[in-house]
Structure 1
């Protein structure tokens, strides 16, 4: 067991700038924050970025590097009273740093109380937020602060965090740990360094006193996953029969589908349950091969809820036969699963600037919406441009099925996107 109750992420919080991982644009040799530290000219600032990228750590290091007093408030638990108490404290040669975590939670009165202190130079404000400051912080306060954008950790940076943990943490350094893969650890942490380190600690703890600890994707997933509710064994046949029903529909056998549906009807199954499963099947197994299928299934679901047994058995029968005899495609089902898999492994990637909305001056200044092509302004209402994060540009998720309707879709996509995707 670990020798301390302090979480790994807290034990490994960097104390000096050179130990800080990531944010090279801000802290690299020519980064604005590194220059500010060297010159001891820290401006009031807003640190904007996702959770677990080091906003609090960075604020602490800025105070330490510039030898300033450090006051810490959380916008969740503090108000104007606590703010005024901090502002009333004497300061040293330089204005103290006032760090406010989740500053976007301060209301207008609280932000107004802070504004005067920032204007007079009583404090150097460092506000941390996961929300867009253009929307959450009033313009008067925002205009007096520099906004620095912190980015989620990439795979290389996450690997550096793990390596640093294995080297620097006394408890981990005494373990014989071998990584077979980092994929699950990185995917489940989602670019959040704090979550990564705390998950790493859980994964190692779960191995107990094993002399050699192998970290695999399967083990990480097993430790991290929530308890999955299991079906009561008395309901096993219930799920076997609905499985046989859906597989009959998918397999284009109306007779098998009708038989298993009849078994459910005779047993008193809720008709809305049958209709709901057909609605899912209409999208999962038919999709755009026959877009009318989902309309029929949805109408069926509404009708059975209005009519009920015994008459609704006729509607269920009609729609089951329609679905069973329809052309099939699981292209939409495969496409969303592929996209979700990519989303889990690339959740740290930012939205390209040209796809972001830019309703405020600040957002326009940092490039939001620049070079976006408005499709309706082009011939055929189409303009070729990248709609994915730059790192996965050109990755294809949707592959049209081999049926008449989706072959038409394939032709359109090939016409539009021949330079980027092969359909």
Structure 2
């Protein structure tokens, strides 16, 4: 005699399986409620690429596509760190020149003291950690507003950079490993291996998430949606790699240039690490909790001061990575390293990508998307012959639009009862 068990008899709640249509409807309701995330930045990026691509054929060339990675990498890395700071509703105005100081430390150790790259690069990173700890300590323990602390550091680090460089000299580096970071490419074979590993790894994570949630009786994403995500990533990476593995040298007989820029997988690695930290760890939940309501987080037992210090440490650490890449791309360091528009573009990248200036909302992917938007604007308008002043005006307007969208979406979310 066969018996049929019900969810009530097994002790597990019956979970309705959502369909792809219901999943998309739920997403649309969240968007209408103000939870728009990176959607405006993604749509803007597509529109910009269509405009510049139709205006200049060179914009969609393999050579220019590869250049976008090296042009945006420094801003993206600094913006990744700023996402953590902005999640707490704080700001770090010193990130640009902090990256310059870290880059100078690496260059001096390499050129003047003969250190190997595996000693000079960690020293630059450690410098970033120390800088972030000092900034976080002043903000968290002394209660000085982050705007004031980091503005003072912005001014101070310019002086430190001048002192390190003996008042204004330029230090060139010739370490092959450091120079390759921002200027060289993976082999064609390694480029395709990277794509295969990335797609298979993402698929494994998605299916493992389904299995894990199902085993706990939780609602899982529809299989069709999961397959769409995997397929979308696969198409994006395959198309990008196919373009980048084409010959893009002007004189291929003399110097062949093919493959994915080395900086691309470096960005991907840090994106994966920090996305995991924010989305899958207790620390990440604490960051969002403190950013959403610091007093409520304190009453819940979250070490608010430690969280506040830690985000500045992460911010300056990522600035050190950006500084290393700035020096690598320029083959040298000078008193302007990390200055100019680096800081403004980095803050703009985080905000344009979807990170809220009010705290509590944002993801690391926002920095990558926002950095791509800024790089496309700068690159496309340069190819079209626009002056620097026009590029700054357009970038500033887009940043203002992004901040306005953030403010309006928060107001919409508050009026609809969403958090």
TM-score range, shorter chain: under 0.3
The TM-score normalised by the length of structure 1 is 0.21
The structure whose Rg is larger is: 1
Q: Which has the higher contact order (CA 8 A, sep 6+)?
A: 2
- Structure with bigger strand share is 1
The TM-score normalised by the length of structure 2 is 0.22
